[in-house]
């Protein structure tokens, strides 16, 4: 009985791994579509974007581990661990601030600061999620890959919504193009594998 349960667990893990590979195709193409769209926006400085993505890794590596602090912030906004993984609360908070405060108090802000804060928060949240869901066995590693790919795609959509505040990012175009190209990539891979 236990041997059968053991083999079912590995079959389920194999299915999750195959689903991860499919999701990876969509994640890659969604990222490409996002990057192509934001790169074409007027006033979008790609160097600031790269710095905002790289800065959390450098901060985590050389200065301090933000995971405990970020976890407390997430638990302050969301009591559920599911929502704390799903929604980057600081990104939502900053997007509301950048959208509402300039209209209420009639002031302007730097697009570079807006982009840097958003990118830094986006990457900090992805690091937080990656550390929270990682596992130590083969099965938990496959679960990690599967769930992180889903969460990554959802966070790309949320980050696009954040950038919509200042850069007029076309979210529908990003999603449609990413999913269409992802399906095309999966089709090309299947043709190559089963030739």
Torsion, CA 98, CA 91, CA 52, CA 81, rounded to 10: 170
Distance of CA 157 to the CA centre of its chain: 8
Question: What was the pLDDT predicted at 84?
Answer: 63
Nearest to 56 by CA among 119, 110, 115, 145: 119
**Measured between alpha carbons, how far is 53 from 47 in angstroms, rounded to an integer?**
10
pTM: 0.81
Q: What is the pLDDT of residues 102-127, one digit of tens each?
A: 667 776 777 788 888 888 888 888 88
Q: What is the pLDDT of residues 22-58, one digit of tens each?
A: 899 899 999 999 998 888 888 888 888 899 889 888 8
Task: List phi, psi (to 5°) of 86.
Answer: -80, -45
DSSP 8-class letter at 194: T
Q: How far is CA 10 from CA 7, 20, 89, 150, 183, in A?
A: 5, 15, 36, 21, 27
């Amino acid at each position: 009985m236990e041997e059968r349960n053991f083999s079912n667990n590995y079959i389920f893990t194999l299915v999750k791994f195959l689903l991860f590979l499919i999701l990876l195709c969509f994640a890659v193409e969604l990222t490409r579509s996002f990057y192509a769209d934001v790169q074409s926006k007027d006033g979008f400085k790609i160097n600031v974007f790269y710095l905002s993505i790289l800065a959390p890794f450098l901060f985590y590596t050389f200065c301090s581990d933000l995971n405990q602090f970020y976890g407390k912030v997430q638990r302050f906004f969301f009591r559920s661990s599911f929502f704390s993984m799903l929604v980057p609360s600081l990104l939502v908070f900053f997007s509301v601030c950048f959208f509402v405060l300039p209209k209420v108090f009639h002031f302007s802000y730097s697009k570079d600061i807006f982009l840097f804060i958003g990118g830094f928060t986006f990457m900090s949240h992805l690091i937080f999620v990656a550390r929270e869901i990682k596992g130590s066995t083969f099965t938990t590693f496959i679960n990690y890959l599967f769930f992180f790919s889903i969460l990554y795609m959802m966070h790309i959509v949320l980050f696009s919504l954040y950038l919509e505040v200042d850069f007029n990012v076309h979210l529908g175009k990003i999603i449609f193009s990413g999913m269409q190209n992802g399906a095309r990539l999966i089709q090309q891979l299947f043709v190559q594998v089963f030739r």
